[in-house]
């Protein structure tokens, strides 16, 4: 185990986080972390249950003098987003996360760290494993598959929890208490293509990389580059200036992450090759200037490669480039009631070539259900214009803020008492499982908070170490005073 991590404060939290880092836990493949949790609870003779989909609940009775306090649920999710840099050799189903400390932050080498939401799990386990923490009856809910559809929370039975107070440990800004979140829904389009023999000429691979990526909800308003949109923009511009054949276009990976990398292969005549190189190099300068304050490492490069045997049919090439230019990405509307709060957004998440189809994934979010559906419909309209087959996911509901929440008042008073300042109370544009849990448990009193994370859903993910101690102290004080 990494001694550099286990010696961080609070020690018990980082001890368990270090253990979690050793356990592969991709979404929908959480078997190893489920087994770890069950074995962990059984060793400590705690009540543990696993439901049909894989959610785990561990219960611990109240400490002496706290028996009359209400049941409280600490909730976190087991799975993590599995993103890595293209040059990193790593198997998320087998390899432990390689974490290290740098300048007050905990980071991972070339991959996501998984502090979303491994650190929430670690806080819950540290509380369950302590004999000197005062609390009422406690149950810790660890859900599966939060990152790719919230199916664990969706499948949770309506009688699984005893609590009617829930603290979600899956937020990313210490000092902020969240009382609402956006709902979300995915859209998938399949655009079929034909191939034809590659024309005579020179083949080039055009690559966009170095973008930060990030969370498609919480980071959507931060002016970050979407590699899919950047790459398509140069291809569309080249298409106006010269004839070339497109052999491939792929970019992005996960529906809940902003695309960091994208690449395309084109074949152009020898006569136009130098102009293409010059235009791409100029575009690299232009795009770096446009994103100079938010994407200092963004790059567009072109390199000659072996000519492919086949390219796309010309009609699909035109349709694809027009579609990707027209389809929206980013903030669609801001809230009219909450200052500086994103109401509705869409993310052009990934473009893949599978079985002679371009498979294009987008994700839409909104705190207003009708606006969420309208964003999905808008994307569908773009896809239908080029004859693509379109389908939508089931989606998940938002979590409506309750400013009169009792647990919110306890948390606010606790924070001010501990740290001498008021916490920020707000809603988040990202999706939280609170929406689904609240739908099943009417009247569930909920808040969400956590230590500070940055670069979530990307290999730049990092956890600010000092904020874990603050979050720990805050959680313990809430449990004493709820």
Tens of pLDDT, residue by residue over 364-415, are: 999 999 999 999 999 999 999 999 999 999 899 999 888 899 999 999 999 9
pLDDT surpassing 90 at residue 353: yes
Separation CA 417–CA 411 (nearest Å): 10
Rounded alpha-carbon distances, angstroms, from residue 332 to 188, 216, 364? 19, 13, 10
Tell me which of 69-73, 313-317, 325-329, 455-459 is least confident: 455-459
Q: What is the mean pLDDT of residues 160-173?
A: 97
pLDDT surpassing 90 at residue 431: no
Q: What is the mean pLDDT of residues 185-212?
A: 97
Contact between residue 351 and residue 250 where contact means Cβ atoms under 8 Å apart: yes
Q: Which residues contact 429 (CB under 8 A, 6 or more apart)?
A: 181, 182, 217, 218, 220, 221, 341, 342, 343, 345, 365, 367
Identify the residue whose tokens are 């995915």: 186
pLDDT band per the 50, 70, 90 thresholds, residue 3: confident
Q: Environment class of residue 271 by beta-carbon count within 10 Å: exposed (0-12), middle (13-18) or buried (19+)?
A: exposed
pLDDT (0 to 100) of residue 140: 98
Backbone region of residue 252 per phi and psi (left: phi > 0; alpha: psi in -120 to 50; beta: other values): left
Q: Is 79 a catalytic residue?
A: yes
| Helix/strand/coil for 317 | helix
Q: Domains for the chain: give ranges and CATH numbers.
A: 3-182+398-481 (3.40.630.10), 185-392 (3.30.70.360)
pLDDT band per the 50, 70, 90 thresholds, residue 424: very high
Q: What is the mean pLDDT of residues 347-353?
A: 98
Please report, rounded to a whole number, the percentage of residues in the chain having pLDDT higher than 90.
Answer: 92
pLDDT (0 to 100) of residue 1: 58
Separation CA 362–CA 217 (nearest Å): 12
Q: Give start and end residues of each alpha helix (H) in 71-177.
A: 115-128, 151-155
Catalytically annotated residue among 79, 117, 154, 250: 79
Catalytically annotated residue among 19, 83, 117, 146: 146
Tens of pLDDT, residue by residue over 216-258, are: 998 999 999 999 999 999 999 999 999 999 999 999 998 889 9
| Helix/strand/coil for 308 | coil
Q: What is the mean pLDDT of the chain?
A: 96
Of the candidates 25, 26, 27, the residue with the CA atom closest to the CA atom of residue 37: 25
Separation CA 140–CA 128 (nearest Å): 8
Q: What is the mean pLDDT of residues 39-52?
A: 98
Contact between residue 213 and residue 268 where contact means Cβ atoms under 8 Å apart: no
Rounded alpha-carbon distances, angstroms, from residue 413 to 235, 306, 423? 55, 65, 9
The helix (run of H) or strand (run of E) holding residue 364 is: strand 357-366
Cα 145 to chain centroid distance, Å, stands at: 12
Neighbours of 71 (CB within 10 A): 17
Cα 139 to chain centroid distance, Å, stands at: 26
| Helix/strand/coil for 244 | strand
Separation CA 439–CA 397 (nearest Å): 8
Identify the residue whose tokens are 């440990």: 169
User: Residue 298 phi/psi, 5° resolution?
Assistant: -65, 135
Q: What is the mean pLDDT of residues 439-463?
A: 95
Tens of pLDDT, residue by residue over 432-448, are: 999 999 999 999 999 99
Cα 415 to chain centroid distance, Å, stands at: 27
Q: Is 261 a catalytic residue?
A: no
Q: What is the mean pLDDT of residues 139-149?
A: 94
Rounded alpha-carbon distances, angstroms, from residue 282 to 279, 298, 300? 5, 14, 9
Contact between residue 68 and residue 137 where contact means Cβ atoms under 8 Å apart: no
Of the candidates 187, 95, 139, the residue with the CA atom closest to the CA atom of residue 389: 187
| Helix/strand/coil for 332 | strand
Of the candidates 328, 321, 282, the residue with the CA atom closest to the CA atom of residue 301: 282
- Apex CA 293: angle with CA 287 and CA 299, to 5°? 35
Separation CA 28–CA 115 (nearest Å): 18
Question: pTM value?
Answer: 0.82
Size of the chain, expressed as the number of residues it contains: 482
pLDDT band per the 50, 70, 90 thresholds, residue 339: confident
The helix (run of H) or strand (run of E) holding residue 462 is: strand 462-464
- Check residue 313 and report its DSSP letter: -
- Check residue 293 and report its DSSP letter: T
């Amino acid at each position: 185990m990494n001694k550099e991590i286990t010696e961080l404060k609070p020690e018990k939290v980082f001890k368990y986080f270090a253990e979690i880092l050793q356990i592969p836990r991709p979404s929908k493949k959480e078997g190893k972390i489920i087994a770890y949790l069950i074995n962990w609870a059984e060793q400590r003779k705690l009540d543990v249950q696993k439901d049909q989909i894989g959610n785990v609940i561990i219960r611990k009775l109240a400490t002496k003098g706290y028996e009359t306090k209400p049941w409280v649920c600490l909730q976190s999710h087991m799975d993590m987003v599995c993103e890595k840099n293209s040059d990193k050799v790593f198997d998320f189903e087998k390899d432990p996360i390689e974490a290290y400390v740098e300048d007050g932050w905990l980071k991972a080498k070339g991959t996501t760290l998984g502090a979303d939401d491994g650190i929430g799990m670690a806080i819950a386990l540290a509380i369950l494993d302590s004999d000197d923490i005062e609390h009422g009856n406690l149950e810790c809910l660890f859900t599966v598959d939060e990152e790719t559809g919230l199916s664990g929370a969706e499948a949770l039975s309506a009688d699984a929890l005893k609590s009617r107070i829930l603290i979600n440990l899956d937020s990313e800004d210490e000092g902020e208490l969240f009382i609402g979140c956006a709902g979300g829904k995915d859209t998938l389009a399949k655009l079929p293509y034909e191939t034809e023999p590659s024309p005579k000429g020179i083949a080039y691979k055009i690559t966009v990389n170095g973008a930060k990526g990030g969370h498609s909800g919480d980071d959507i308003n931060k002016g970050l580059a979407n590699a899919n949109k950047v790459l398509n923009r140069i291809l569309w511009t080249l298409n106006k200036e010269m004839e070339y054949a497109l052999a491939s276009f792929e970019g992005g990976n996960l529906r809940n992450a902003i695309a960091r990398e994208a690449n395309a292969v084109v074949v152009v005549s020898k006569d136009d090759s130098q102009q293409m190189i010059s235009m791409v190099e100029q575009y690299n300068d232009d795009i770096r200037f446009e994103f100079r304050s938010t994407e200092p490492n963004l790059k567009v490069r072109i390199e000659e490669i072996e000519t492919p045997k086949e390219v796309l049919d010309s009609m699909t090439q035109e349709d694809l480039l027009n579609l990707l230019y027209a389809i929206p990405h980013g903030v669609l509307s801001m809230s009219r009631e909450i200052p500086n709060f994103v109401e509705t957004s869409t993310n052009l998440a990934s473009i893949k070539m599978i079985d002679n189809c371009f498979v294009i994934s987008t994700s839409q979010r909104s705190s207003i259900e009708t606006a969420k559906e309208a964003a999905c419909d808008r994307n569908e309209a773009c896809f239908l214009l080029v004859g693509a087959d379109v389908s939508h996911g089931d989606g998940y509901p938002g979590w409506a803020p309750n400013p009169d929440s009792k647990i919110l008042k306890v948390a606010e008073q606790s924070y001010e008492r501990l740290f001498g300042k008021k916490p920020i109370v707000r809603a988040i544009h990202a999706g939280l499982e609170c929406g689904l849990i609240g739908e099943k448990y009417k009247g569930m009193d909920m808040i969400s908070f956590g230590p500070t994370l940055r670069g979530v859903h990307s290999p730049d993910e990092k956890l600010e170490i000092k904020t874990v101690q603050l979050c720990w102290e805050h959680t313990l004080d809430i449990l004493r005073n709820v």
